[in-house]
Amino acid sequence: MSQPILVITEQLDGSFKNVSFEAISAGRMLGEKSGQLLIAAVMGTDIEGIARQAAAYGADRILVADHAGLKDGLADAYIQAAAQLVAKTDPAVVVIGATSLGKDIAARLSARLNAPLAMDCVGVRLEGDHVVATRPMYGGKVLADVSLSGSPAIVAIRPRAMEPAAAPGAGEIEMVDINLEGTNLNLVEKHMETGKIELTEADVVVSGGRGMGGEDFSLVEALAKALDGAVGASRSAVDEGWRPVSDQVGQTGKVVAPNLYIACGVSGAIQHLAGMASSRIVVAINKDPEAPIFSKCDFGIVGDLFDIVPAVTAEIEKLKG
């Protein structure tokens, strides 16, 4: 392999998403194995100041595409920028975080370049000149190794699936002019939820299901707050209109991999498990001892969540002093 490894990072409002550092670490591992340069691409508006952070994880070169047209986070503009950075660097492998925007960019790059793509990977390695990515299939029941033929091989890695590892690189910064003419999307209105921890990046997730019985999720919110965690929901809770779609965990929602996942009043349907099975420790609170979630958890509490959740929260607050 004689071409570089390109990692496309993602930042929001001037802060890198953690998955960017995970992606750079994965890219560094590939770069070390192949003896090739690791290039990190940083895209956005007014981002020159943060770009250097990519060097701490091993980037040899950092390409900065700083353009006012990238301010609104529109995929249309980001794909143009990403395609120009790929054309400039001619990489053997492109690594990107499998976030909403990352998946959009990865899929469109793949289509534009007629390049192979492995989405939502939990591992990546080189076997000879071939990139082999590990990705969950059948709702996480199977891990498949897929070998990518073609160039560049595009690998979108699942947030929190791989550890970011600090390893200082040269981090030579280069500003790159990009052309965003011909982008057709315009932002009309933007609704931001502030002060909310992003589900896919959270260290702790507390989810509520249909067992919550209604839109009052204050018990789950209080427990999540006590643990500095994020609130998730089953699809039933979302379909009922109790929680926004952005909170949904599962096959058709978000995939999370926190250190601690607490499921409150969630039965543990296969489609829900597909979104949280990679969590390190799972705690289930359910009044039905036969609920499937109990066969997938590390700790289970059989009982009424309306008694248990506040008691657990109070105990945590007591421990925190």
Strand, coil or helix: what is 65?
strand
**Is 169 a residue that touches ligand FAD (CB under 6 A)?**
no
- Please select the residue that binds ligand FAD; options are 157, 305, 312, 313, rule is CB under 6 A: 305
Q: By C-beta, is 45 or 278 nearer to ligand FAD?
A: 278
Binding string, residues 112-151; x marks residues near ligand FAD by CB under 6 A: ----------------------------------------
- Please select the residue that binds ligand FAD; options are 234, 255, 282, 313, rule is CB under 6 A: 234
Q: How far is the CB of 210 from ligand FAD (least distance, A)?
A: 3
**Is 250 a residue that touches ligand FAD (CB under 6 A)?**
yes
Q: How far is the CB of 216 from ligand FAD (least distance, A)?
A: 12
Q: How far is the CB of 164 from ligand FAD (least distance, A)?
A: 27
Cis peptide, bond prior to residue 292, ω within 30 of zero: no
Q: How far is the CB of 291 from ligand FAD (least distance, A)?
A: 4
Residue 119 near residue 99 (C-beta atoms within 8 A): no
Residue 10 near residue 75 (C-beta atoms within 8 A): no
Residue 212 near residue 266 (C-beta atoms within 8 A): no
Footprint of ligand FAD on 59-88 (CB under 6 A): none
Beta bridge partners of 93: 5, 153
Number of residues that bind ligand FAD (CB under 6 A): 28
- Please select the residue that binds ligand FAD; options are 237, 257, 262, 284, rule is CB under 6 A: 237
Please give the Cα distance from 118 to 130 (Å, whole number): 13
Tokens 């891990």, residue? 143
Q: What are phi and psi of 217, to 5 degrees?
A: -105, 20
- In angstroms and rounded to an integer, the radius of gyration of the C-alpha atoms of the chain is 21
Q: Are strands 204-208 and 230-233 parallel, antiparallel or unpaired?
A: parallel
Residue 276 near residue 247 (C-beta atoms within 8 A): no
Q: By C-beta, is 225 or 287 nearer to ligand FAD?
A: 287
What strands, in cross-sheet order, belong to the sheet with 299-302?
230-233, 204-208, 260-264, 281-286, 299-302
Please give the Cα distance from 235 to 248 (Å, whole number): 6
Residue 179's closest CA among 46, 90, 112, 84? 84
- Residue 47 gets which letter from DSSP? -
**Is 271 a residue that touches ligand FAD (CB under 6 A)?**
yes
Q: How far is the CB of 11 from ligand FAD (least distance, A)?
A: 27
At 97, which amino acid appears? G
Q: How far is the CB of 159 from ligand FAD (least distance, A)?
A: 16
Q: How far is the CB of 274 from ligand FAD (least distance, A)?
A: 7
| Binding region for ligand FAD (CB under 6 A) out of 1-9, 37-45, 171-179, 209-217 | 209-217
| Binding region for ligand FAD (CB under 6 A) out of 114-122, 125-133, 192-200, 265-273 | 265-273
* Residue number closest to ligand FAD, CB atom: 250
Q: By C-beta, is 27 or 250 nearer to ligand FAD?
A: 250
Footprint of ligand FAD on 275-304 (CB under 6 A): 275, 285-288, 291, 304
Q: What are phi and psi of 167, to 5 degrees?
A: -165, 95
- The contact set with ligand FAD (CB under 6 A) reads 209-211, 234-237, 248-253, 265-267, 269, 271-272, 275, 285-288, 291, 304-306
